[in-house]
Structure 1
Amino acid sequence: MIQCKSLVWIVALLFISNGPVIAGKVKPDYIKITQVTAKQRVDITIGGELFTSLLYADSLKKPSLFPIYTAKQNMVTRGWPLMPKHMDRTDYSHQFGLWFTYGNVNGADYWNNQPDADTIHNVYGYIRVQKVSGISNGEGKASFTMVCKWFNPGAKAVLEETSVFVFKVENNLRIIDRFITLKALTNVDFKDSKQGLYGFRAATELGQQVSSLENAMLTDANTTKTDSIPLTGHFTSSEGVEGEAVFAKRAKWMKLTGVVNNEPVTMVLMDSPQNVNYPAYWLARSNGLMSANPFGADIFTNGKEKFNYSLAKGKQVSFKYRFVQGGDKLDKDTIEKLFADFSGERL
């Protein structure tokens, strides 16, 4: 298990941002991006308050946006293992924030590669950020570019990733668009795996009420009863499938609604018609995980479909995803409009 003291640097996440001000305060929709190279992170603030950070410390094995906050400063991502909260669920320590990885790239696992992973009995790859550039700040919109490499267990780079992150504030919604290009540095096979590709792990409160959480899987387990934390989460897919039934189904987007600290919240993760094998299958679980996966056909269909994807050396493949965070007013019509607008954009 990850020890908090090994990640002490994360406590410096909160800070006050400089930017255009009105009556002594930063404009509420002004988005500022600040790279903190010494701490291996990039901070994104809205109106001077932290929205999220790109964390890419070597100990994390992969870059991820964590934590993610609402405008009322409630965290919609699970805190554990990086910023444990009271009664946080403690399963799957590799699932934190919003990330892009895959479970089988030339036989190496880039999904389950948590810092305390068993590297003797399992083959794990890791991702290292090479450069952050193109930082652009502004009112209602900001962006930056990240270049990183995917290394196999033998420390050989097999993929070069270029991701453009675009952050927006629109009609009280917070939006993260990510445009990803993977270039093969050797012949690459994405073998069938349920563990991928673009994932989000929600706050423990946003788990679904299908069963009680085991005490062993909670922080403060010895002092607090399991039933003291309300599970408020509920999945709805673009195809109208709800609850646990969304698992392994294809959909163009997935919505998770619930309540965090008495605030109604909605998160939507969107696939794109430009992506490979659209619409994606969904790895969506009652613990608050939702992930769009175009590559897991064999597993998700019990062998009825196959989709092992190959990329020859020097070739590229692109993906685009949208994450939207809002309140209880984020209905299907609004989501469909946001999806249509996003789908019309070019990579």
Structure 2
Amino acid sequence: MISLTRMLTVSLLSLSLLLATSEAAEEFTVDKTEHGVTVKLGEYPFAKYDIVSGPKPFVWPIYGPGGVEMTRAYPMEDRPGESQDHPHHRSLWIGQELVNGVNYWHEEEHSGKIVHRKFTKTEGGKKATIQVVNDWLDVEGHKILEDRTTYQFLTLPNDKRAIDVTFRLKASEGPITWGDTKEGFFAVRVASSMEVKGKTNNSSGTIVTSEGKKSYVTPEGDVVKDAWGTRAKWVDYYGDVAGETKGIAVLNHPSSFRYPTYWHVRVYGLFGANPFGEKAFTGNEEADGTYVQPEGETLMVRYRVIFHNGTTEEANIEKEFEKYAKVRAKQAAAKKKAKAE
């Protein structure tokens, strides 16, 4: 006769397995709206891609494990207890301070704009895909380059959610000079409660890089900022969200331009990956991260953003990177096989 303890153990294990696999079994839907695109996982929202509410497209809100928001709402919405610095930090976005001398990072009177031109694909299913074409306009409204960007929304094992982003930046109108600056390039602004040391009273975060660098607050109250300005395969930023430990990891794919990238990751919540800021990050006066992109050339930059429960170790981010690093090789093999058939 099976003991009651054993029956309870089996039941709990079965329930855990069911909960872990139920989200993965749900399908994504993608709906166009007047503001852009809404992505849902099953019946519930995952993210919104907004093309009209700012001078550049951005993704907000983003719902992580458990359906909680993982990025800051400001400046899109005022929330009690949130920090309200840096209004150009729009949840998840792309921008750069020096592109042919034009500022696409800040949102000022003399800044450039990244303008949505069209969607080339919006598709749901086992994962959601959004493909867009954007034009980068200077202060006078002249186009200087274009990006063709793919966002893929997916689920990963152990209740993780992810957004894969591939930017293809084409020097369509002439040569492009990407200047050496810390202000860029692909970025996330984490929820205020996750900040390592911000202006809110409930900051709780820790930043960890693949190379073992960390930013955190010591028990004595000292702020350590060792993660900022370093190069790494990935960085994880975790802290308290709605009373639980959750994190956001950004992984840089090995096929990406200037991999591994530098990280503009701040204790107040900015989480940026920037391949152009060598001098700005290292302080080496002889270094220069400037890149002159010839007319017609396309730069490809790739990241995976993972929204997870627990700490870096609990989420096994290094293992997630190893799997992500193989994605392009698998895609190439699949295309080669399809052509052969």
SS at match of 1:246: coil
When residues 329 and 242 of structure 1 are mapped into structure 2, their CA distance, relative to the original with a 3 A threshold, is: closer
When residues 87 and 132 of structure 1 are mapped into structure 2, their CA distance, relative to the original with a 3 A threshold, is: same
Q: Which amino acid in structure 2 is aligned with residue 68 of structure 1?
A: I
Distance 1:281 1:26 in 2: 34
The structural deviation recorded for 1:208 is 0.8
Distance 1:231 1:71 in 2: 20
Q: Is the 8 A contact 1:192 1:298 kept in 2?
A: yes
What is the RMSD computed on CA atoms of the aligned residues? 1.9
Distance 1:188 1:313 in 2: 7
1:241 aligns with 2:213: yes
Q: Which amino acid in structure 2 is aligned with residue 195 of structure 1?
A: E
SS at match of 2:65: coil
1:127 aligns with 2:109: no
Query: 2:299 maps to which residue?
Result: 317
1:232 aligns with 2:204: yes
Query: 2:287 maps to which residue?
Result: 305
2:133 paired residue among 125, 147, 157? 147
Distance 1:130 1:318 in 2: 19
1:199 aligns with 2:181: no
1:112 aligns with 2:106: yes
Query: 1:40 maps to which residue?
Result: 35
Identity across the alignment (%): 27
SS at match of 2:169: strand
1:276 aligns with 2:271: no
Give the TM-score taking structure 2 as reference length. 0.82
SS at match of 1:331: helix
SS at match of 2:149: strand
Q: Is the 8 A contact 2:65 2:309 kept in 1?
A: no
Query: 2:92 maps to which residue?
Result: 98
Distance 1:239 1:63 in 2: 32
Distance 2:144 2:24 in 1: 43
The structural deviation recorded for 1:345 is 2.7
Distance 2:269 2:85 in 1: 11
The structural deviation recorded for 1:270 is 1.0
User: Considering only CA atoms, is the larger Rg found in Structure 1 or Structure 2?
Assistant: 2
SS at match of 1:138: coil
Query: 2:16 maps to which residue?
Result: none
Q: State the Cα deviation string for residues 264-311 of structure 1 (Å, max 9, x = none).
A: 211101112212222111111111111111100111111242121011
Number of residue equivalences: 296
Q: Is the 8 A contact 1:98 1:199 kept in 2?
A: yes
Distance 1:26 1:70 in 2: 12
Query: 2:319 maps to which residue?
Result: 337
SS at match of 1:72: helix
Query: 1:162 maps to which residue?
Result: 148
Query: 1:136 maps to which residue?
Result: 123
Query: 2:28 maps to which residue?
Result: 31
Q: Is the 8 A contact 1:43 1:54 kept in 2?
A: yes
When residues 40 and 89 of structure 1 are mapped into structure 2, their CA distance, relative to the original with a 3 A threshold, is: same
